[in-house]
Structure formats: structure tokens, C-alpha cells
């Protein structure tokens, strides 16, 4: 009696959905989050856009090798993390705050509310950029709604280490935010 291998849901999707469609879906669902991640590792809008393009290209190139051992979102963020680290090592970026405005969309009707919210976002981004890289990594992923297991998988660390880094990162962020007021 021959047994047929059971296809995983990822393999089943791959057989019915083209690679291009999978790429488009995953990128559409995560583009804003990847742009925010890229912004936390770069100083200018053009550098952010360059890093985003590098991540998108790397994801496109890596997608055929995706084995379904994690979610496609986690796979994308792992690639994004690796590209961001490569940019940091290539450019040796300093962790000083930047006075550049971000492109975060805002739907609030009041200009005063929009300005106050933008200032707060800029302060958070500037404070995040000043964190040591291990703390910046976990706080950025946590702000994107990743759970501890996803963060651990993306960064290649233990789940317990994620909690410890997040606690320290939050404390440092709180201090940095209070010192900028």
C-alpha cells in the first residue's frame, strides 16, 4: 500500500496561486509595516525607500525557496531584519536622532491634532533610532504587532530573551521620550 505525502497548506497554496500573486499579496498586506521597519534603521526618506526596495527585491528572490516552516509574514520580516542589519553594517549609521519628518499617513481632521500626533511619532521614531540595535529590533517588531514567538524566530533568539529585551527597550524608550519633552 503506497501512501501519498500530505501537502501542507503552504504547498497547496503554492500549487494553486502563482508566485507573483503570493508576492503581491504578502507585500500589499505588509508594505506599511516594512516601511516603518525600514524607517527605524535609516535617517532619510530616500534611504528608507532604498531599504524598502532592497527588502522587496530580497523577498521576491527568496520566495521560491520558502518552505512553509513559518508564516510568509514572519519570513518577510526575517528578510527585512537581515537587510536592515546589512545596511547598518554597510553604512555604519549613527544612532543619533534625526529631525526629519516621516511620511506616516494621518486621517485626523484637525490640523492641530495632526501636528501633535506627528510630533509624537517623530519623537518615538527618533527615540527608537537611539536605542541599541538589539532593543531597536525587538521594539520595532513588537510595535508591528508581532508576538514573542514571531520576534524570536525573526531575530534568531530565545523567546525568554525577547521578553527581557522588550522590558529593557521599553524602559530606555520611556527615559528617552521623557528627556525630549
Domain extent, residue 65, equals 18-94
Does 3 fall in a domain?
no
pLDDT by residue for the chain (181 residues), tens only, comes to: 444 444 444 554 445 678 899 999 999 999 999 999 999 888 889 999 999 999 999 999 999 999 888 899 999 999 999 999 988 888 764 444 545 555 555 454 567 777 778 888 888 888 888 999 999 999 999 988 999 999 999 999 999 999 999 999 999 999 988 887 6
Does 149 fall in a domain?
yes
- Which residues, including other chains, have CB under 8 Å from residue 96's CB and lie 6 or more apart? 129, 130
Which of 94, 116, 144 is the last residue before a domain boundary? 94
pLDDT value of position 113: 76
| One domain, residues 115 and 88 | no
The candidate with the shortest Cα–Cα distance to 72, out of 62, 86, 83, is 62
pTM: 0.61
| One domain, residues 172 and 117 | yes
Q: Is the Cβ–Cβ distance between 26 and 9 less than 8 Å?
A: no
Degrees, nearest 5: CA angle 66-39-159: 55
End-to-end CA distance of the chain: 72
| One domain, residues 84 and 122 | no
Find the CATH number of the domain harbouring 66: 1.10.1740.10
| One domain, residues 90 and 141 | no
Could you report the per-residue pLDDT of 73-119, keeping only the tens digit for each?
Answer: 999 999 999 999 988 888 764 444 545 555 555 454 567 777 778 88
What is the tally of structural domains in the chain?
2
Does 135 fall in a domain?
yes
Does 4 fall in a domain?
no
- Which residues, including other chains, have CB under 8 Å from residue 33's CB and lie 6 or more apart? 77, 144
Does 99 fall in a domain?
no
Indicate the burial class of 62 (C-beta count within 10 angstroms; 0-12, 13-18, 19 or more): middle
Does 103 fall in a domain?
no
Amino acid at each position: 500500500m503506497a501512501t501519498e505525502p500530505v501537502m501542507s497548506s503552504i504547498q497547496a497554496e503554492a500549487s494553486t496561486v502563482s508566485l507573483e500573486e503570493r508576492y503581491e499579496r504578502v507585500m500589499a498586506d505588509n508594505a506599511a509595516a516594512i516601511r516603518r521597519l525600514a524607517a527605524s534603521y535609516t535617517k532619510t526618506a530616500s534611504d528608507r525607500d532604498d531599504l524598502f526596495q532592497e527588502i522587496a527585491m530580497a523577498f521576491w528572490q527568496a520566495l521560491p525557496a520558502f518552505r512553509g516552516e513559518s508564516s510568509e509574514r514572519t519570513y518577510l520580516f526575517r528578510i527585512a531584519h537581515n537587510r536592515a542589519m546589512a545596511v547598518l553594517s554597510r553604512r555604519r549609521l549613527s544612532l543619533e536622532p534625526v529631525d526629519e519628518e516621516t511620511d506616516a499617513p494621518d486621517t485626523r481632521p484637525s490640523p492641530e491634532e495632526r501636528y501633535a500626533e506627528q510630533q509624537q511619532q517623530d519623537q518615538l521614531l527618533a527615540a527608537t533610532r537611539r536605542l541599541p540595535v538589539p532593543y531597536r529590533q525587538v521594539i520595532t517588531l513588537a510595535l508591528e504587532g508581532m508576538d514573542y514567538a514571531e520576534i524570536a524566530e525573526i531575530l534568531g533568539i530565545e523567546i525568554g530573551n525577547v521578553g527581557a529585551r522588550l522590558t529593557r527597550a521599553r524602559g530606555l524608550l520611556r527615559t528617552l521620550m521623557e528627556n525630549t519633552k
